[in-house]
Amino acid sequence: MKLLICDPTDIEAIEKMRTAGIEVDVRDDISAEELMKVIPVYHAMVVRSRTKVRQPLIDVAKNLKLIIRGGVGLDNIDADYACSKGITVVNTPAASSVSVAELTIGYLFALARKIPDATASMRAGQWEKKAFSEGTELTGKTLGLIGCGRIGQEVAKRAAALEMNVLFYRRTKTDVPYATQVSLDELLAKSDYISLHVPLTEETYHIIGAPEFAKMKDGVYIINCGRGGTLDEAALYEAIVSGKVAGAALDVFEDEKDDRGKKLFTLPQVIGSPHIGAGTVEATARVGGEVAELAIAFYRENF
């Protein structure tokens, strides 16, 4: 089986696949144009969030039998279309959950205590003790989770340990330790912090937009370490300018190729990162390990 690594993958996982007999080629910075040219000879491919596997690519991938998405979510893959062509599509949903949850918790602290601004002030040689002594505690505050799958539940567990009141909205009835399921409207009305943890689908596109901001408390904080496109960034900008939203922390953006939330980052109330939620040493190793297991199992069953 010929397998193409399209995005950075743990070295030990790559060697494990090779030891099992898989012919692995590593092109972890391959462009979309080059991928279209080389994919026809491969039986399997490994991608993370950077590489998009859309219908045109699938149409030219005449020998492709397996797509492995290292990480959570399949929104960068036309999974239904691939499956209709007889291609197996799998991912590693649990491997990076803790890393994304910890980044979310980190942003809670950063927003509550204005840590990035304080650091920038210190780097500029300032000592603005009074200005940065008006932060707030997380204890006793209400955190609303929109979506409560693996990552959301990891966030809930950690937020509860901080003695936060955790609410969550999910379409299906779900029992979550440390958290209470409520309607979306109730979550919007009661939360001091709102964090998004839903996949990007037709139903969740801009699940938080201008109508939802209008239902929130004044001075609410928004965090999105989930998926770009679930949050209407233009509406968020207006909500911050108006004072409705006190601040936001964003790790994902609707357009991560060109725009990358540039207008939002003209606002001092916005902090963020370049889609690094799963970017820890531990998560990379776990993702790689699961990728290798999936690839080897498929190889042994089909080749």
- Given the residues 227, 233, 286, 290, the one annotated as active site: 227
Task: Measure the CA–CA gap between 215 and 217, rounded to whole angstroms.
Answer: 7
The reply to whether 171 belongs to the active site is: no
The reply to whether 128 belongs to the active site is: no
- Given the residues 23, 186, 256, 293, the one annotated as active site: 256
- Given the residues 43, 69, 170, 275, the one annotated as active site: 275
**C-beta of residue 181 within 8 angstroms of C-beta of residue 173:** yes
The reply to whether 197 belongs to the active site is: no
Residues forming the active site = 227, 256, 275
